[in-house]
Amino acid sequence: MIKIIKYVFIFGVLSSCTTPKQKDENVVNKASEKIVNPTNKVKLSSDIKWEKLNPARGDKSPKAGTIWGDRKGKVATGFLAKFSDGFSSPPHIHNVTYRAIVIKGTIHNDDPNAEQMWMKPGSFWTQPKGESHITSAQGEENIAYVEIDSGPYLVKPITEAFDSGERPINIDAANVVWLNNKATNWISEQSDAEISFLWENDDETNLKGIFVKLPSKFEGSLINEGKIFHAIIIKGELSYKMPDKNEEIKLDSGSSFSATSKAEHTFSNTNSEEVIFYVRTNGSFSVRE
């Protein structure tokens, strides 16, 4: 089955008019229950173990660091990809479709004959399986978050290219559509946080991807309802409090927090700049201060 992906230009606008208000009338109200046996986990960017993304290219290969899952196995996976300054891949294809977000540096990903379009941090793109493309990077440090719905993630020659029926999407950070508490019930009335709906699988998985933006000096929480929940810091630094502990953990870009059941994630942004993180989940969530 081909998975239909709804992106910010369409889904974000529709969400501001109908989706959150009509489908999730009680999203924020459901957040009042006490969480028993929390499953919260964090992973620091400094704990990422790097290896070659494409070993066949030797020292010219980008590096990859798994956040969750196993990109060499058959399961869904999220990982970081790191590119050297001036990197440019030869034309190639992948056996699976992937989604990606620029975290550091600037990255170009498109058809080999396309004009270069350099995407800055916070930009989002997709690469359909079977489609020939190149990936390039410019910057002292270039890192992207990449996720797949199933593996393994393989690099193959363009002689094996095929048309899956999917089409690529490249969305610059400046074109992301943000929704505040007046446009969606996923944000409490007291909160200045914003969200952006990026994609949703049109199948029984109910999986979706969403940006969350927290302003400077934000103090609050996010309560997720789904059994799948992964959040990756894209921009800024978040102070994350583990449940039932006084410990606060600093999560910089590339760090993540997760849960495998309904969970409350308590955090703050004590810095002068906004924090943006990406959420992959199969349920709704609410953000409140």
Q: Cα(253)–Cα(272) distance, rounded to whole angstroms?
A: 16
pLDDT at 4 over 60: no
Task: Indicate whether 267 and 183 sit together in one domain.
Answer: yes
How much is the average pLDDT of 273-287?
97
Specify the higher pLDDT residue, 159 or 57. Answer: 159
Specify the higher pLDDT residue, 203 or 250. Answer: 250
Q: Cα(14)–Cα(142) distance, rounded to whole angstroms?
A: 33
Confidence of residue 247 (pLDDT cuts 50, 70, 90): confident
The answer to whether the beta carbons of residues 81 and 283 sit under 8 Å apart is no
Task: Indicate whether 165 and 184 sit together in one domain.
Answer: no
The answer to whether the beta carbons of residues 257 and 205 sit under 8 Å apart is no
The predicted pLDDT at position 25 comes to 47
Owning domain of residue 152? 48-171
Tell me which of 28-32, 62-66, 133-137, 258-262 is least confident: 28-32
Task: Indicate whether 59 and 166 sit together in one domain.
Answer: yes
Task: Indicate whether 145 and 63 sit together in one domain.
Answer: yes
How many domains in the chain?
2
Domain boundary among 107, 139, 171: 171
pLDDT at 5 over 70: no
Q: Residue 3 domain-assigned? A: no
Confidence of residue 85 (pLDDT cuts 50, 70, 90): very high
Task: Indicate whether 222 and 179 sit together in one domain.
Answer: yes
The predicted pLDDT at position 246 comes to 78
Task: Indicate whether 25 and 56 sit together in one domain.
Answer: no
Q: Residue 2 domain-assigned? A: no
Q: Residue 225 domain-assigned? A: yes
pTM over 0.85: yes
Specify the higher pLDDT residue, 157 or 3. Answer: 157
The predicted pLDDT at position 265 comes to 97
Across 2-129, the runs of DSSP E, i.e. the strands, are 41-43, 50-52, 63-68, 77-83, 93-94, 98-110, 124-127
Q: Is 48 helix (H, G, I), strand (E, B) or coil?
A: coil
Q: Residue 65 domain-assigned? A: yes
Q: Cα(67)–Cα(41) distance, rounded to whole angstroms?
A: 12
Domain boundary among 120, 143, 171: 171
Q: Residue 119 domain-assigned? A: yes
Task: Indicate whether 22 and 75 sit together in one domain.
Answer: no
Tell me which of 33-37, 71-75, 127-131, 226-230 is least confident: 33-37
Task: Indicate whether 81 and 163 sit together in one domain.
Answer: yes
The predicted pLDDT at position 29 comes to 52
Task: Indicate whether 144 and 75 sit together in one domain.
Answer: yes
pLDDT above 90 as % of the chain: 82
Q: Cα(180)–Cα(122) distance, rounded to whole angstroms?
A: 18
The answer to whether the beta carbons of residues 78 and 70 sit under 8 Å apart is no
pLDDT at 49 over 60: yes
How much is the average pLDDT of 74-95?
97
Task: Indicate whether 108 and 251 sit together in one domain.
Answer: no
Q: Residue 163 domain-assigned? A: yes
Task: Indicate whether 137 and 152 sit together in one domain.
Answer: yes
Across 69-200, the runs of DSSP E, i.e. the strands, are 77-83, 93-94, 98-110, 124-127, 134-148, 155-156, 169-171, 194-200
Task: Indicate whether 133 and 194 sit together in one domain.
Answer: no
Confidence of residue 3 (pLDDT cuts 50, 70, 90): very low
Domain boundary among 171, 189, 209: 171
Average pLDDT, the chain: 90
Q: Residue 87 domain-assigned? A: yes
* CATH number for the domain that contains residue 62: 2.60.120.10
The predicted pLDDT at position 245 comes to 82
Q: Residue 205 domain-assigned? A: yes
The predicted pLDDT at position 33 comes to 61
